[in-house]
């Protein structure tokens, strides 16, 4: 078992999960979530806003039947490698093939030169995608792309892609001084180390939340919220990771954007005019399942509104709370870093 600083115990396997700087990442909250969900009886669980995959992986370590999903591509790639995958690792032979230089592709270099990374970094990304057809196994391919996603995130200051100035937020950490190629090799081994055979049945799919079947024992919800200040746009922060996860295939790149962002896909959770009715629709859609909703006091609508909406479909709603300091995503708004994290459980 793994003992956290607050003396909470979670499965030891969870310590192997490759952590990632990601807005809303629940890694530090896993002990609290673990303790809170102990009273809930469930085996099958849906995580339809999987993000970095932390909660899905944690649920896998508990032996649950996990369906991990997101409407973006790169979270699906990550959970394919680490949640659905039981025993496939990427071989040294495949790694060596992927890091072999070739001149087949040049999209990353032509699009992002003088914006992100060095010439060698961008040419490595192009070369990687030129070599990827060498790998035919779905899980081995997902490990390779996951390692590339993580390499790009670690090489970029703060792991976000909102600014193109390489000196901004550069504190001289090793992650910012070694190449994407070097990061990639390290991340292949780190992802390999985190792979284990599940006791339950696990799957990773890319699907909108409302297109999932309506019954699971438990649905864990961590949708995008409307912050009271700044914004919650994942595409603005992580557009490069989304693009590199599919080599920008089918993506609408905003040429007028200084950092060549990908057009933001619409989600009704992100707008004040649609948020309340969307949460109502969400709770109605999963009314046959137990619901656990992660939420923050920094968000709109209020926790009281969400409780009243959930009570329309549940006999009982229990609100659990924990003081929590957000150190990522609100760096220019320090006054709202201190927040209360909620977990609403409807049964």
Give residue 229's pLDDT: 61
- Residues 265-315 have pLDDT tens digits of 888 888 888 999 999 999 999 999 999 999 888 788 899 999 999 999 999
Average pLDDT, integer, range 236-261: 93
- Report whether the peptide linkage leading into residue 301 is cis, meaning its omega lies within 30 degrees of zero: yes
Residue limits of CATH 3.40.50.150 in the chain: 1-70+202-223+267-347
- Residues 62-101 have pLDDT tens digits of 999 999 999 999 999 999 999 999 999 999 999 999 999 9
Provide the residue count of the chain. Answer: 347
Q: What is the pTM of this model?
A: 0.91
Collapsing DSSP to helix, strand or coil, 187 comes out as helix
Question: Distance (Å, rounded) from C-alpha 303 to C-alpha 320?
Answer: 11
pLDDT of residue 116 exceeding 50, the answer is yes
Q: Which contiguous run of DSSP H or E holds residue 295?
A: strand 290-296
Helices 303-310 & 272-285, crossing angle to 10 degrees? 30
| Domain 1-70+202-223+267-347 of CATH type 3.40.710.10 | no
């Amino acid at each position: 078992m793994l003992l956290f600083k607050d003396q909470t115990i979670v499965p030891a396997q969870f310590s192997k999960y490759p952590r990632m700087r990601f807005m809303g990442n629940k890694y530090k909250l896993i002990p609290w979530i673990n303790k809170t969900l102990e009273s809930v009886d469930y085996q099958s669980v849906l995580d339809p806003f999987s993000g970095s995959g932390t909660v899905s992986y944690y649920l896998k370590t508990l032996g649950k039947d996990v369906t991990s999903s997101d409407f973006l591509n790169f979270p699906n790639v990550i959970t394919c490698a680490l949640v659905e995958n039981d025993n496939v690792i990427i071989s040294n032979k495949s790694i060596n093939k992927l890091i072999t230089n070739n001149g087949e592709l040049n999209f990353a270099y032509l699009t992002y030169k003088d914006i992100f990374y060095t010439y060698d970094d961008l040419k490595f990304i192009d070369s990687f995608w030129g070599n990827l057809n060498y790998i035919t196994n779905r899980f081995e391919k997902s490990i390779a792309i996951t390692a590339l996603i993580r390499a790009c995130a670690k090489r970029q200051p703060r792991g976000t892609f909102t600014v193109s100035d390489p000196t901004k937020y550069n504190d001289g950490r090793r992650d910012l001084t070694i190449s994407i190629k070097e990061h990639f090799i390290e991340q292949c081994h780190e992802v390999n180390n985190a792979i284990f055979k599940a006791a339950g049945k696990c799957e990773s799919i890319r699907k909108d939340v409302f297109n999932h079947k309506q019954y699971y024992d438990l649905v864990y919800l961590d949708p995008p919220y409307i912050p009271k200040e700044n914004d919650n746009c994942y595409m603005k922060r992580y557009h490069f990771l989304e693009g590199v996860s599919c080599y920008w295939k089918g993506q609408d790149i905003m040429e007028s954007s200084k950092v060549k962002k990908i057009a933001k896909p619409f989600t009704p959770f992100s707008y004040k005019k649609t948020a309340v009715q969307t949460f109502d629709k969400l709770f109605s859609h999963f009314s046959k399942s137990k619901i656990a909703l992660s939420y923050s006091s920094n968000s709109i609508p209020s926790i009281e509104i969400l409780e009243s909406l959930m009570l329309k479909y549940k006999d009982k709603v229990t609100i659990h709370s924990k003081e929590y300091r957000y150190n990522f995503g609100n760096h220019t708004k320090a006054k709202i870093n201190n927040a209360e994290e909620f977990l609403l459980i409807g049964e």
